[in-house]
Chain A
Amino acid sequence: EAGVAQSPRYKIIEKRQSVAFWCNPISGHATLYWYQQILGQGPKLLIQFQNNGVVDDSQLPKDRFSAERLKGVDSTLKIQPAKLEDSAVYLCASSLLPGEQFFGPGTRLTVL
């Protein structure tokens, strides 16, 4: 079974630039999550999708972050404009059951 795919794996941008991350979940997983993991911390949920609808985006900084999941499969997370404190690993996960989440390898973002 193929795992969760993410791209790019690494991204370096300057502050105030825009960046987008892509995620392809495990086939058949209706639920998709985007997490932010700052160095030395646990993952923090940014947004949760059920199919192509948003279930929870309470911790998404909506003034600069946006996410979509068209057709209930792939998803993109965008940051515009980026700030220095956005430097982190952005993890995508998918699941059939709420606790049994399968994570992708993440995208390491560095904002200079």
Chain B
Amino acid sequence: QQQVKQSPQSLIVQKGGISIINCAYENTAFDYFPWYQQFPGKGPALLIAIRPDVSEKKEGRFTISFNKSAKQFSLHIMDSQPGDSATYFCAAPGNTPLVFGKGTRLSVIA
């Protein structure tokens, strides 16, 4: 079963700063690596995703950097805002369609 290791567990960032969350995976049999954002009391929502044929994908303030040789990908949130405070999950394909990391709780403080 695919293992996905996510770090850090929690993160506190000043408003306007850069939030960085990292994810390491084991297998590369599939081609889709998403990040999900979850607010309290809500289900996870797809935030941004990357395919391994590119090294970076940017959507607004959110960027995924992908390092295929290292089997790592990271989420960067530029100009972090209090509204970004949530739990973020990386996911990677495995024997099941997606295996999720344990999550990173991000708090953006003013």
Q: What is the bound-complex CA distance between A103 and B43, given in angstroms?
A: 5
Q: Determine if B43 and A48 form an interchain contact, defined as CB atoms under 8 angstroms apart.
A: no
Q: What is the bound-complex CA distance between A43 and B102, given in angstroms?
A: 8
Q: Flag whether A102 is at the interface (Cβ < 8 A).
A: yes
Residues of the B chain whose Cβ atoms lie less than 8 Å from the Cβ of A98: 32, 93, 97-98
Give the shortest distance, in Å, between A55 (CB) and chain B (any CB): 9
Residues of the B chain whose Cβ atoms lie less than 8 Å from the Cβ of A91: 43-44
Q: Determine if B41 and A105 form an interchain contact, defined as CB atoms under 8 angstroms apart.
A: yes
Q: With A103-B43, A106-B43 given, is the CB distance from A58 to B95 under 8 Å?
A: yes
Q: With A40-B103, A42-B89, A42-B103 given, is the CB distance from A99 to B98 under 8 Å?
A: yes
Which of B44, B93, B95, B102 is the one whose CB lies under 8 Å from A99?
Answer: B93
Q: What is the bound-complex CA distance between A59 and B96, given in angstroms?
A: 10
Q: With A99-B91, A101-B97 given, is the CB distance from A41 to B102 under 8 Å?
A: yes
Q: Flag whether B62 is at the interface (Cβ < 8 A).
A: no
User: What residue in chain A is nearest B6 (Cβ atoms)?
Assistant: A42
Q: What is the bound-complex CA distance between A58 and B93, given in angstroms?
A: 15
Q: With A58-B95, A59-B96 given, is the CB distance from A99 to B34 under 8 Å?
A: yes
Question: B-contacting residues of A (Cβ < 8 Å)?
Answer: 4, 31, 33, 40-45, 48, 56, 58-59, 91, 93, 95, 97-106
Excluding A42-B91, A98-B32, A98-B97, 14 further A-B contacts by CB distance (< 8 Å) are A42-B4, A43-B100, A44-B100, A48-B96, A48-B97, A59-B96, A91-B44, A93-B43, A98-B98, A101-B97, A103-B43, A105-B42, A105-B43, A106-B43
- What 6 A-B pairs come out closest when comparing CB atoms? A103-B43, A42-B100, A99-B32, A98-B97, A45-B96, A103-B44
